[in-house]
Structure 1
Amino acid sequence: MNPRSKLSDCFSREEIQRLSQRSDAAGWWAVGSTWAIIAATFAVLALWPNPVTFVLALVILGGRQLALAILMHEAAHGTLFRTRWLNDRLTDWLCARVIWVDVARYHKHHIRHHSHTGTDEDPDWSLSRPFPTRRASLLRKFARDLSGISGLRRLLGQLLMDLGVLEYTVAAEVTRRPQGDRRWHHYLAEGARNMGPMLLANAALAGILAACGEFWLFGVWWLANLTTYSLFMRIRSLAEHACTERGRDMLRNTRTTRAGWLARATVAPLRVNYHIEHHLMAALPWFRLAEAHRLLRQRGLVPTPPGYLEVLRRVSETATK
């Protein structure tokens, strides 16, 4: 595909119109099913607390927290719900705030990623730039994720962004905001505005668990956020853009990855693995991505997607190997 080609080079006008149709029912299903799995995981761990259920809970909760982040991502594109209030407000409270992110600021950052993917102006380029790397280096990154080191750094960065010390970003590199003549009360006021909804959402979750007599599960929730969620986010990010071509061709600067049941439960919830299709047509709701992929494959526009293990092998091979 020529970088100047239009969406109409891949899909007919009728297909674009049909594929871009959003659905409140699909949005409710995505949000409701995600929270149903979270609730079931809490229930199983509360009823049968042992090392096996504890580890499984960390894996499942980390995967569902990534699902909540993907639902926020959908809402940032305006594709999760057809009704705007549900898309912008409900998603913010039910999906984003409880994992300490928000729809509005993410939207402002993420739209720049779509506008400049494959170029030096891409704000997320720092996530892909270190790759390929050596296998030992990749394993060290995974170890930092599972040990909670990456998660603690992420939460510290989020705190400083909420206070207005750092510029908002979801990328690997952060920059300090110009401070001017700001005083401590300015930081506190900005922090209260940014963190208030997050604290309320988490207080609601903690209150529900406490009312069920299982407040300790709230600690498991945040332990998953610090560990498995960090790992799953990294692998998802690597699959999407690491070791793809530089340039503005959306069929080459982005990757679609094959996802089996385990990947869908962890690193690829809600069909986020169809990333070429998402970049080609950002108005595609999550439940239509697979259909768009089938059409592109039938027309020979995209290759057979690699699996996640194959992607990890690619990104852990040095350029000199």
Structure 2
Amino acid sequence: MAAAARVAPKDHFSPAEWAPLSRKSSWKGLALMAHAWAVIFAAAAMAMAWPITIPLAVMIIGARQLGLAILMHDAAHGALHPNLKVNDWAGETLTPGGLVQYRNYHLGHHKFAQQAEDPDLGLSAPFPITRVSLRRKIVRDLTGQTHFKQRWAPLIRRIRERKPGESAVAILRRFVKSRPKFFLGAAVTIAVTAPFGYGWAWFVLWWLPSATWLPMITRLRNIAEHACVAKDEPDPLRHARTTHANILERMFLAPYYVNYHCEHHMFMHVPCYNLPRTHRLLKAKGVLPGMLTAPSYLDVLRLASSKPASQDRGGDATPEERGVRQVAIQ
């Protein structure tokens, strides 16, 4: 298996330029995590005080849930904190978790980016699709169908197909034990909020965003990063796409510099908060024209949904739809 071509920092930066880009801060990554949780709590407080703002809170919280996954992704690269023990503790404890499993899987994506062995190739390979197909996918995400297929349908299938003598209760017990943060967080939040009349808060202000807004922006983010990138692309400057994000997109779709995805694939150990500076330096050096970039998320979606309507395949769930991962930060 041939690994994807890589970019050496010395090809574009002097040692003096590279040192601050690759340096891990002892506080910036942790500050971003604190910011994500602060925004989540502030949006939840807003919604509880003024229920009319619940739709806005769902979008804000879903985007910060993605933000926490992005920061966990930085931890998977050892880029969240200079102390690896602190890096891994924060990446596992202060996010939805799954750091070790994600790291093992995700580094394979970087090693074989857009090559046949890339474990994420199936997420980008089907594009372009039709506008109707994209619209169907977004509807499935926003109505919770994608979340159900990924998180709950396998459990129901496992119970239905259980072996003789195997109880449904035992299967449910193992399921709960395999997701301790989810169920413990639900129990604690409900116990704290219910006495004040907000027993609904966890369901509406955590679970609902994770079941609707998060799957949709995860899909759109993944499309922007790798859709319509050629399989077996030899140029390491074109394995992933950087997309310009305005302030609203950074708030609701692309938090914590995740839109600088080409730079991330070029230099995967650069912390996310140093990616904008990396982008500016590459632009100043004339490298940017050779990189894969897009002026906006809307432009990428137009490209990704440019397949003629006559070729639409109907409402079937495609492999890449079944494969959209809640924490697959590429």
TM-score by length of 2: 0.81
Give ranges in structure 1 of 5+ residues lacking alignment: 166-181
Q: Is the 8 A contact 1:277 1:292 kept in 2?
A: yes
Higher RCO, 1 vs 2 (CA within 8 Å, ≥6 residues apart): 2
Output the amino acid matched with 1:284: V
Distance 1:5 1:134, change over 3 A: same
Per-residue deviation, 1:140 = 0.7
1:11 aligns to what SS in structure 2?
Answer: coil
| Residues in 1 aligned to 2:154 and 2:259: alpha-carbon distance in whole angstroms | 26
- For residues 80-159 of structure 1, the aligned pairs below 5 Å read 80-97=80-97, 102-156=98-152
**Counterpart in the other structure of 1:20:** 22
Output the amino acid matched with 1:148: G
1:294 aligns to what SS in structure 2?
Answer: helix
**Counterpart in the other structure of 1:264:** 250
Distance 1:106 1:202, change over 3 A: farther
Q: Are 1:294 and 2:275 counterparts? A: no
Q: Are 1:224 and 2:193 counterparts? A: no
**Counterpart in the other structure of 1:242:** 227
**Counterpart in the other structure of 1:168:** none
**Counterpart in the other structure of 1:60:** 60
Q: Is the 8 A contact 2:70 2:258 kept in 1?
A: yes
Q: Is the 8 A contact 2:6 2:236 kept in 1?
A: no
Deviations 1:262-307 (A, max 9, x none): 1101221000000011111111111100000011111222236420
Q: Is the 8 A contact 2:7 2:267 kept in 1?
A: no
1:65 aligns to what SS in structure 2?
Answer: helix
2:235 aligns to what SS in structure 1?
Answer: coil
**Counterpart in the other structure of 2:36:** 34
**Counterpart in the other structure of 1:318:** 307
1:243 aligns to what SS in structure 2?
Answer: coil
| Residues in 1 aligned to 2:286 and 2:210: alpha-carbon distance in whole angstroms | 39
Distance 1:230 1:116, change over 3 A: same
Per-residue deviation, 1:213 = 4.3
1:80 aligns to what SS in structure 2?
Answer: coil
Deviations 1:1-49 (A, max 9, x none): x946523112222322221111121022101111111111111111111
Identity, in percent, stands at: 38
Q: Are 1:273 and 2:259 counterparts? A: yes
Per-residue deviation, 1:249 = 2.4
Select between 88-97 and 183-192 the one with higher mean Cα deviation.
183-192
| Residues in 2 aligned to 1:212 and 1:83: alpha-carbon distance in whole angstroms | 41
Q: Are 1:196 and 2:180 counterparts? A: yes
| Residues in 1 aligned to 2:274 and 2:175: alpha-carbon distance in whole angstroms | 38
Deviations 1:81-112 (A, max 9, x none): 22323321233122124xxxx11111111000
1:318 aligns to what SS in structure 2?
Answer: coil
Output the amino acid matched with 1:313: R
Q: Is the 8 A contact 1:132 1:315 kept in 2?
A: yes
Per-residue deviation, 1:204 = 3.7
Output the amino acid matched with 1:87: N
TM-score by length of 1: 0.83
| Residues in 1 aligned to 2:134 and 2:122: alpha-carbon distance in whole angstroms | 15
| Residues in 1 aligned to 2:119 and 2:257: alpha-carbon distance in whole angstroms | 23
Give ranges in structure 2 of 5+ residues lacking alignment: 311-330
Q: Is the 8 A contact 2:59 2:213 kept in 1?
A: yes
Q: Is the 8 A contact 1:88 1:103 kept in 2?
A: yes
Alignment counterpart, residue 307 of structure 1, candidates 268, 271, 296: 296
**Counterpart in the other structure of 1:6:** 8
**Counterpart in the other structure of 2:328:** none
Q: Is the 8 A contact 1:209 1:217 kept in 2?
A: yes
Distance 1:186 1:115, change over 3 A: farther
Q: Is the 8 A contact 1:240 1:254 kept in 2?
A: yes
CA RMSD of aligned residues (A): 3.0
| Residues in 1 aligned to 2:133 and 2:91: alpha-carbon distance in whole angstroms | 36
| Residues in 2 aligned to 1:211 and 1:243: alpha-carbon distance in whole angstroms | 51
Select between 308-317 and 6-15 the one with higher mean Cα deviation.
6-15
